[in-house]
Structure formats: C-alpha cells, structure tokens
Structure 1
C-alpha cells in the first residue's frame, strides 16, 4: 500500500517527467555495464594494473550490487521510493566521478565498490517508482517504454563508450554519468511522487534485513578475494585459506540467519522448497558466469592480442545486445506456448557453439568472417534463455513472493559474473601483467572460452533434467 493512489498518466507532463527520470537513471547503469570491460586494457595500461586489479575493477561493483540490491528495494519500500532512488542516483554519480579521477588502482577499486552500492539503491528504484506512481491503466505502457528506451541505452553503450575511450580517455565513461544525473535529479524532484509501503513502515520493515545483506556480502567477498589472490600468493597461502574459510563461514551464517527470520527475511528460505526455483537459480548462476567470463576476456583479448581499437571492440558485441532487444519478447512468447524446457536447453547449446567458434579468433582477424558469426550464435542462444528464464523463476513460486524471487534471480546473475571473473584467470593461468602479453593472453582467452562453453552445456543439462522433473511432479 502506498501513501496515495497511483494517478500519473503517460500523456501528462508529470508522467513524461517521471519516465524521463527512470529511463535516464537506468541508462547510467546500463551504459557502465556495457563499456567498463571495453575500458579495461586502457585503464590497466594507464594505472599499471595487474590482472587482479582488473578483476576487482569489475567485481568490486558486482559484489555490492549482488549483495545489496534486495536491501535497496526494501529501503525504498520503507523510507520512500523517490527518496532512496534520488540517494542512489547522487551516490552512483559521485562514485562515478571518483572512478574517473582515480590515479591508482586502489582508489579506482574503492570507487567502484561505492558505485556498486549506489547502483544497489538505484537499480530497483527506477522500476519501483514507475510501478508505484502510474495509474494501473497506464502502468504497462510506462514500464514498456522504460524497458524499450533503457534497452536503447544498452545498445548504444558500446559505441558511445568505445568512442569516448579512443577520442578522449577511459575516464570519460565515468564522467559522462554526470550528464545523465543532473536531469534525473531535476525531473525526480519536480515530477516523481513519493510513495512507500505503509505496512512495512509500521511493522518496522518487512524484509529490511541488513544483517543478512552484510553476511551475504562478506561471504561473496571472502570467496572472491581467495580466487583472485590465489594466482599471486598460491592456493595454500594463509591469506587465501583464511579469506576462503571466512567466506564460507559467512555464507553458512547467512543461510542460518535467513532461515531463522522466516518470511521476514530478505531472502525467505522457504522459496527453496521449490526444486524448480532452486534449479533455475543454479542455472542462472551458471549461464551468467559464462556471459561474464566471456565479456571480460573478449574485451581485453581483442585490444591487447588482436590489436583492435576500443570502438571496434565495443561494436564487436553489438549484435548480442541487438538480438536480446529484438528477440527476448519473441522468445518469451515461444516459451509461453511450448514451455520453457526447450528454449532453456537449446539456448545454452547454441551459445556454447558460438563461443567455440570465437576461440579461432587471432591477430589480423576479420570482424565479418571471424567474430560476427560466433557473437551472433552466442547472442541467439542467450536470447532463447533470458525471457523464458525470468518467467519460469516467477512461475516457480507463489505470486506474493514474485518481487523477492525476481530480485534474488537478478542477484544470482550478478553472482555468476562475479565468480567467473574471479575464478577464470586462476583456472587458465593468467596473472600479473600477463594480459599485456599477446601470446600468454591468447592461451588464456582460448582456455577461458572453453570453460565458458562447458558451463553453458552444464546449464543445458540442468535445464533439461530439472524442468522435466518439475513437470513430472506437477502431473503426479
């Protein structure tokens, strides 16, 4: 329940202003998510970064987003969705400026951690503001407009980011967020109505679970640190063993705390009584681990081994984004007609075939002959997965848990990317400044794509068996 009946209409000035704020705010996050990987070789060269520094540049952000995005949504419900949304926008923007000003890798990583915390407030806020503000008759149109135009920002991200990196500096992929943030803040203050869940405020905040969020973050941080630090220190070093043990203990404590809190937990453990929900979230981690590992290695490889510019590297993955934008709704409709099992099984297999093709890419590679076919296959496979996966996760739980189930699945996708970026350099033997050595990087790139293809095939097997078992249980 909110403080007032949602009344905004899409055709009014206030409705358009609210949409503008939500779309530009999401655009900031989506733009950064598509171009930071492209910037890694340049910022690594400028700051004298090691592979571990590059990993933390990605994972510092993902860690905070995965751990605190559910808490960010709960904060908005309790303290006001517009208020928390604005705090997230300002926080994210200040952290972006700090990223752009960083003179060393330590400062950059800290700024990226802060940016992830701002993103955890901003990401759920942009959609919840629309849900709470618009009249029910216009809500679907508003959310559809938000999704479409936010998708456009994702699509142009590689082009804009690559151009900024080549023409100016990698720092401008962070500074540009100020241009988004100013109109967002002005529009939100002028037109976005405040709303909150009065029941959450009166009861002390259902799902306002800061202990759970902190334990989840510590668990992920400990395991991630161990994986990233192992190549330099060795698997048996005290620092690696202690951080791994601390991460595991924090993860166990997270499960125990959430179980004790029951349905008031940030993540009600009762959701996992559904075998299908559990299996689909494991599937999510596996598939998005393959995506995260692939994009991390491809961006560095195309620039440091193949010799492409940042702009060309950014444009290399454009077909992936376009296919997701154009095809996701069609894949969702197909899954609604025939069930999710076939798309969730075939999609990862097609994507794996694309990665195996991309292993052939080397110095002097042609975009049209060597890169485009593999990226297109990977994009087609991922398109078959994304919409059916989201629908299947929501269908696997009671409707009243739709919000938390969707949020957890989103967090699971971030965790997949986080773990892949942390683990793959260790698995393929890439450390130090090896990413600057074409021969060493080529060996690591090809090994990483083989691991990613294996993850996708494992996901296909899991989807085939788990959905079949769930159908048998329903019929029984």
Structure 2
C-alpha cells in the first residue's frame, strides 16, 4: 500500500473501532450497572437500545452528510462528540442520565462508520479494495468481539465507568491521523440534507422500541404501549413515503434496485439481529446465571476474536476471487450450529465443555460471513455513493439489533435465566438460518472479467 492508503485504512479502522467497541463493552458491564444504579432488565435494555436508536436512525443522515460535506469533517465531528458523551456516561449518577448520555453517544457514533468505509471505497479500487475491506472487517470485528473481555477487565479491576473511557485514546490518535491526511475533496456541494426525514426516522424507531421494551411491564392493552407502537409505525411509514418524494433522501430507495444490495441488507438484518441477541444473552447470563466474573464472561468471546483476526482478510480475498454467495450462505449456517451448541449449558455449569465449543464454531461462522457480506453490498453500488450505501447497511444492522434487544423479554420469557438463555440460543440459530437461506436464494456472484489477451500473452 502507498503511504496515503495505509493512513486512510488506519483512520477507517480506528474510527470504526471507537463505535463498535463501545457497543459490545456494554454487554458485560450491564450487571454491574444494574447493581449500582438499579432498574432491572428494563434499564439494561435501555442502556443498549438508547445507543442503537440514535446510531441506527442517524447513521442514514450521517451518510448523506458525509457525501455532501466530506468524510474527514464528519469523522472529526463524530469523534469529538463521542468523546464528550463517553465522559458523560462515566459520570452518570442515575439510570436516566446514563441512558440520555448513551443516546448522545450513539448519535456521535452514527457519524463514524459510514464515513470510514466511504474513505476506503473512494481510495482503493478493484482487488485492493476487497483486501482493504477484509482488513477493516477483521480488525473492527475483532475489536467488537474483544469488547466484552476489555469491558470485563475494567469492571472487575476498576469500575464499569472506566470501561466507557477506553475510547478516549483511539479518538485522540484518530484525530491526529486525520490532521495528517489533510482535506477531503470527495464531496457533493450541491447535496441537500433531509432533516425532516431524519426526525421522522428517529422518532418512529424510538416510539416503537419504547413500546417493545415496556410491554412486559404494562401489557399490550395499556395505552402507554399500543399508542406509541402505532405512532412509531406511522412515523416510520411517513419516513419511507418521504424518501420516495424528497429531492435528497437519506435513504435512497433506488439503491435497493441492485439485487445484491437489497438481498445483502435482508441477510444483514437477520445476521446482525442474531449477533446482538447472542452478545447480550451470553454476556449477561454468564455473570447473572452461571456466576462468572465480568472478565471471565468477556473471555467467552475470545475464540471468535481469534477466528476473526486469523481468517477475515483471507476470506475477504477468497470472496473477491470466487464471489460472496458461498461464504454468505455457509457462514450464518455455521453460526446457527454454534448457537445450538450452547443448548448444552446446564445447571452444572462448565465453560470448557458447554460454552467454548459453541463459541469456537460461532466465531468460525462469523469470520466466514462478515467480510464477503460487506464487500457484496458495497460492491453492488457505484463508488461515489459509497457513503450512503455504507450508511444504509450499517443502519440495517443496528436497527435489527435494536429491535431484537427490545424484544428480549418476549424472546427469553421474561427473565434471562437458564431457560431464557436456551430460548435466546434457539432464536439466534433461527435468525442465522434465515440469513443463510436469504443469501443462498438472493446473492449473485459478480461476473468475472475476461482476461486481456495482450496482457496475458494470448
């Protein structure tokens, strides 16, 4: 790689790690947060979903802003905002302040991921782009999966509050690298931002998620449940209708005319919804149900991290040669098998025989899936729209996780005990299987370009 390409890749990885790492650190911090601040399962759900609501809804807006005003500027805004919100989380005196700060953190995080991937797709071309995306995928996903271990160490040795300050160092490094990169000329000065659409999307998701989280406490017949649920659905439908008519939509529906783009996003919804459910269920149950420390619960994710580091770049290269369909079908199916292996967890708990085999298989499936999935989706769209295409895909993944976490009480039967953990494992396997089926039926491998006879000597 040239010096600028390495710089771009380093910035993209670090900026994305900031957003992804925090999203999984919280899973092992939840029991400690609940012990100190109270609120039970509902507070734990809101600590996760407040972040995902703003991240999932505003990431679409951020993609448009990134294309309009430049990726470097948007990254700077996101990094500074994320740092401020992280400090507010660490200082939160009660659940309400914590949840508000988590929402602010998600809003800042929304500006990081689409701009990071757009920097890669606008800098690298052809096979180099596939390799760069593979490296980005390996490092960011490994950081995501390592989050529970890092968070567990902070929770056990210091406090859950310090776990949210870990991002300050990579944020500082990334800001320095952005200064070295210089200005970003890849922008569309004629673009307009759909602020009304962003508002409809955010309020629609927020109202619907509120209803799903609070439903076990109040019941479906309570007006405090069905009213916001209906309102949320109506607002989100209005958002979609506006995207058909506004001049500069934050969710360009014409992107979904590309087969691999819309199919890949459907698969993304199933796979990342399952990932969110698995991460939360494993992180919380291993502490509250199996009695492990936060550090040991975090160690459960280590096999998947190792698999991602070792295999993602190689899988990305292979997928670039033979196409993504095989990997996007096989990977989720393997993860489904790994999830079902967690059904062996029983009252006589053993990590080595009941958890480790499933996590190893799950990590193998994840390594097979993620890089080809990202490449297939972004490869279906022209490079100049990489920012919004990346934003849409990331929004789909975050909203999928948001909805599944909001439905956690329904999935596990009201409590994350052993029976609830088994239900979560079955639901995870079902979602992964759906992702495999969608990929097999819908994804098409790109046509191979015929070699140039003059260049091959033919």
TM-score band, normalised by shorter chain? 0.7 to 0.9
Going from structure 1 to structure 2, the CA distance change for 1:323 and 1:278 (only over 3 Å counts) comes to same
Query: How far did residue 334 of structure 1 move?
Result: 4.0
Partner SS for 1:463 = helix
SS at match of 1:91: helix
Counterpart of 1:194?
A: 183
Cα 1:148–1:467 shift into 2, 3 Å: closer
Residue equivalent to 1:299: 283
Per-residue deviation, 1:373: 0.7
Asked if the contact 1:65/1:116 (under 8 Å) is kept, the reply is: yes
State the shift of 1:310 in Å.
0.7
Is 2:329–2:437's contact at 8 Å kept on the other side of the alignment? yes
Aligned to 1:238: 223
Residues 1:197 and 1:423: Cα distance change in structure 2 (over 3 Å): same
Which residue, 10, 13, 20 being the options, matches 2:3?
A: 10
Shift of 1:259: 0.6
Which residues in structure 2 correspond to 1:221-232 (within 5 Å)?
Answer: 221-232=206-217
Q: CA deviation at 1:158?
A: 3.4
Native 8 Å contact 2:213 2:407 kept in 1: yes
Which whole-Å deviations, capped at 9, do the CAs of 1:233-292 have from their partners, x for residues lacking one?
A: 101111111111111111111111111126x32222122334553333222111111111
Aligned residue in 2 for 1:35: 25
Is 2:429 aligned against 1:453? yes
Aligned counterparts of 2:130 and 2:435: Cα–Cα separation in 1: 32
Matches within 5 A, 1:76-95: 76-95=66-85
Q: Deviations over 1:20-45 (max 9, x none)?
A: 65554333223212311111111111
Q: How far 1:160 moved relative to its partner? A: 2.6
Question: What SS does the corresponding residue of 2:164 show, helix, strand or coil?
Answer: helix
Q: Secondary structure at the match of 1:175?
A: coil
**Structure 2 counterpart of 1:474:** none
C-alpha distance 40-235 of structure 1, shift in aligned 2 (>3 A): same
State how far apart, in whole Å, the 1-side matches of 2:123 and 2:355 are.
44
Mean alpha-carbon deviation: is it higher for 415-424 or for 17-26? 17-26
The answer to whether 1:54 aligns with 2:44 is yes
Q: Matched residue of 1:78: which SS?
A: helix
Give the counterpart of 1:260 among 231, 245, 254.
245
Between 337-346 and 52-61, the greater mean CA deviation after superposition = 337-346
- Structure 1 residue 86: deviation in Å? 1.9
Cα pair 1:9 1:135 within 8 Å, conserved: no
Q: Please, which of 80, 91, 95 is the counterpart of residue 101 of structure 1?
A: 91
Structure 1 partner of 2:418: 442
**Match of residue 114, structure 1, among 81, 104, 109:** 104
**TM norm structure 1:** 0.84
What are the Cα deviations for residues 155-206 of structure 1, in whole angstroms up to 9, with x where unaligned? 65333321111000110111222333334444544x23122445x22x2x25
Q: After the TM superposition, which of the residue ranges 82-91 and 41-50 deviates more from structure 2?
A: 82-91
Q: Does 1:180 align with 2:170?
A: yes
For residues 454-474 of structure 1, the C-alpha deviation after alignment (integer angstroms, 9 at most, x for no partner) is: 122222232333348999xxx
- Deviation per CA, 1:424-463, whole angstroms, max 9, x where unpaired? 3223322xxx45xxxxx11211112111211222222323
Residue 382 of structure 1 pairs with residue 372 of structure 2: no
**Where does the alignment leave 5 or more consecutive residues of structure 2 unmatched?**
448-458
Larger relative contact order, structure 1 or 2 (CA cutoff 8 Å, min sep 6) = 2
Q: Residues 193, 130 of structure 1: CA spacing in aligned structure 2 closer, same or farther, 3 A cutoff?
A: farther
Aligned Cα root-mean-square deviation (Å): 3.2
The answer for the alignment partner of 2:355 in structure 1 is 371
1:285 and 1:413 in contact (8 A); partners too: yes
Shift of 1:406: 2.9
Q: How many residues align?
A: 447
Q: Secondary structure at the match of 1:359?
A: helix
Name structure 1 gaps, 5 residues minimum.
1-7, 436-440, 472-476
The match for 1:3 is none
Determine if the alignment matches structure 1 residue 466 to structure 2 residue 442. Answer: yes
Classify 1:445/1:147 alpha carbon distance in 2 versus 1 (closer, same or farther; 3 Å). closer
1:335-354 alignment runs, 5 A limit = 335-354=319-338
TM-score with structure 2 length normalisation?
Answer: 0.87
Seen in structure 2, the aligned counterparts of structure 1 residues 166 and 115 have a Cα distance that, compared at 3 Å, is same
1:103-131 C-alpha deviation (Å, 9 max, x unpaired): 21111110000000111123333454566
CA gap of 1:143–1:294, structure 2 versus 1, over 3 A, is closer
Alpha-carbon offset, residue 73 of structure 1:
3.1
Bigger CA drift: 295-304 or 64-73?
64-73
Determine whether 1:170 maps to 2:155: no
Q: Could you tell me whether the CA contact under 8 Å between 1:41 and 1:304 is conserved in 2?
A: yes
- More off after superposition, 245-254 vs 138-147: 138-147
Q: Structure 2 CA distance, aligned partners of 1:385 and 1:176?
A: 28
